[in-house]
């Protein structure tokens, strides 16, 4: 039931404060992650993990890309991420101590499931990050961490993604504590995670401003999305959302790649969306934005601090509340979901059931 909402997608976007809470409920102690959440025998398995191989498709793959930054940064162990349709068909090197992590909303995605079946005898163990209890992926993996997002009806994945990120952050912490992550750091992140639902509520309150911004996209044929660090996969996810529900061609680039090619595309008809929290990469990002400005590109910036991001002609800046660094990719996803939602509504597409797409891709 959509209740007061016009579409399931909008309802599911607005459910995120509640479901990210569900994704951590019962899994956090006062200042640490509780390992029981991963199933019996999890602790012994985690003790032996030396690297992580993540496999997923689409939006779930983007969650994996963000987790790579976290795992290598906080646990200090190698993490590889690949789309399942490539992974399953190539000769993959899996060093001893590899934890195979699949990420899937449905738990039935054919390529992801096939990848698990392909390697399960060659890895230390498999962990499924999944939203559907009893799904094939959950049944066939050694460990699982349910994302608890509840049923997702809209074909475009929203709450499934942000809850996957919460689950992946919990996974990062249990791996990290075995590889020198300071207990104070874990305690700080656990504390920050507990603030996440309230932060997401605040971002949702910006919806009217985002809806207004969406008007600039309705007539456009193309859009570019830029981010750096964990915000790079967020930009990829923003571009995917825009293409799948509004049918506008969108591409994402790591902002530093701009001058290696895509800058040639920038003109007044190419809106450029940027996720720019106030972090150590902001100065670098600002230089990239100047490059866009200089070519007459129209900029839309979701920023941590609006006065730092050139509020001038041709630049629309929307300021988000201050966000702990680790939560930036989760929080900055919401404005991009809302932006593509409103663009699609303006264009009159079938938001919940975009053309040519299926919710669960059970054939390759
Ligand atoms: C995009 C989207 C798809 C899915 C992909 C994987 O909004 O929904 O890209 O993310 O088909 O599906 P799951 O997560 O069910 O394996």
- Predicted confidence (pLDDT) per residue in 321-356, tens digit: 999 999 999 999 999 999 999 999 999 998 888 888
Decide: 152 in ligand 1 pocket, CB within 6 A.
no
Catalytic residues: 359
The answer to whether the beta carbons of residues 127 and 38 sit under 8 Å apart is yes
Beta strands in 113-269 (DSSP E): 125-130, 143-146, 222-227, 249-254
Is the C-beta atom of 59 inside 6 A of ligand 1? yes
Contact 106 CB / ligand 1 (< 6 Å): yes
For the Cβ of 156 lying below 6 angstroms from any atom of ligand 1, the answer is yes
Report helix, strand or coil for 143.
Answer: strand
* Burial grade of 4 (CB within 10 A; 0-12, 13-18, 19 or more): exposed
SS3 of 146, please? strand
The pLDDT tens digits of the residues spanning 4-34 come to 999 999 999 999 999 999 999 999 999 999 9
To the nearest 5 percent, what fractions of the chain are helix, strand and coil? 50, 15, 35
Q: Is 105 exposed, middle or buried (0-12, 13-18, 19+ CB in 10 A)?
A: buried
- The neighbour count for residue 39, using CB atoms within 10 Å, is 16
Three-class secondary structure assignment of 236-282: HHHHHHHHHHHCCEEEEEEHHHHHHCHHHHCCCCCCEEEEECCCCCH
Total count of residues recorded for the chain: 364
pTM beyond 0.90, yes or no: yes
Residue located nearest, by CA, to atom 10 of ligand 1: 59
- DSSP structure string for 295-321: TT--EEEEES-GGGS---TTEEEEEPP
Q: What is the pLDDT along the chain (364 residues), one digit of tens a residue?
A: 889 999 999 999 999 999 999 999 999 999 999 999 998 899 999 999 999 999 999 999 999 999 999 999 999 999 999 999 999 999 999 999 999 999 999 999 999 999 999 999 999 999 999 999 999 999 999 999 999 999 999 989 999 999 999 999 999 999 999 999 999 999 999 999 999 999 999 999 999 999 999 999 999 999 999 999 999 999 999 999 999 999 999 999 998 898 899 888 998 899 999 998 887 767 777 777 888 888 888 899 999 876 666 557 778 899 999 999 999 999 999 999 999 999 999 999 988 888 888 888 888 8
User: In testing the pocket of ligand 1, which one of 57, 103, 164, 357 has its CB within 8 Å of the most ligand atoms?
Assistant: 57
How far apart are the CA of 324 and the centre of ligand 1, in A? Answer: 27
Distance 304 CA to ligand 1 centre (A): 29
Contacts of 354 (CB under 8 A, 6+ apart): 155, 156, 244, 245, 247
Tell me: the pLDDT tens digits for 197-216?
999 999 999 999 999 999 99
Ligand 1: atom nearest CA of 156 is 7
DSSP per residue, 18-84:
HHHHHHHTTTB-SSSB-GGGG-TTHHHHHHT--EEEEEE-HHHHHHHHHHHHHIIIII-S-EEEEEH
What is the sign of the dihedral through the CA atoms of 19, 242, 303 and 264?
positive
């Amino acid at each position: 039931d959509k209740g007061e909402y016009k579409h399931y997608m909008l309802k599911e976007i607005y459910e995120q404060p509640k479901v990210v809470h569900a994704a951590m409920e019962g899994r956090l102690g006062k200042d640490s992650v509780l390992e029981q959440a991963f199933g019996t025998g999890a602790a012994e398995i985690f003790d032996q993990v030396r690297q992580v191989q993540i496999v997923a498709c689409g939006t779930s793959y983007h969650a994996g890309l963000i987790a790579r930054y976290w795992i290598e940064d906080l646990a200090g162990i190698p993490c590889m991420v690949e789309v399942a349709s490539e992974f399953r068909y190539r000769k993959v090197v899996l060093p001893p101590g590899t934890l195979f992590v699949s990420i899937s909303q449905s738990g039935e995605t054919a390529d992801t499931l096939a990848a698990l079946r392909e390697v399960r005898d060659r890895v230390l163990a498999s962990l499924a990050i999944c939203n559907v209890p009893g799904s094939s992926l959950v049944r066939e993996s050694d460990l699982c961490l349910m994302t608890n997002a509840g049923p997702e009806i809209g074909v475009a994945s929203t709450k499934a993604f942000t809850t996957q990120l919460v689950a992946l952050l919990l996974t990062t912490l249990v791996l990290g504590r075995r590889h020198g992550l300071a207990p104070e750091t874990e305690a700080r992140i656990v504390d920050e995670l507990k603030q996440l639902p309230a932060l997401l509520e605040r971002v949702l309150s910006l919806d009217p401003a985002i809806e207004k911004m969406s008007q600039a996209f309705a007539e456009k044929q193309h859009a570019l999305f830029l981010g750096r660090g964990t915000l790079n996969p967020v930009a990829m996810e923003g571009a995917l959302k825009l293409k799948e529900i509004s049918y506008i061609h969108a591409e994402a680039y790591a902002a530093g790649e701009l001058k290696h090619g895509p800058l040639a595309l920038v003109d007044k008809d190419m809106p450029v969306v940027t996720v720019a929290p106030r972090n150590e990469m902001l100065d670098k990002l600002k230089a990239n934005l100047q490059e866009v400005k200089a070519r007459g590109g129209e900029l839309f910036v979701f920023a941590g601090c609006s006065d730092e991001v050139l509020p001038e002609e041709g630049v629309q800046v929307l300021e988000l509340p201050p966000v702990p660094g680790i939560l930036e990719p989760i929080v900055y996803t919401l404005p991009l979901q809302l932006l593509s939602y409103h663009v699609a509504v303006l264009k009159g597409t079938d938001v919940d059931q975009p053309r040519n797409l299926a919710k669960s891709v059970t054939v390759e």
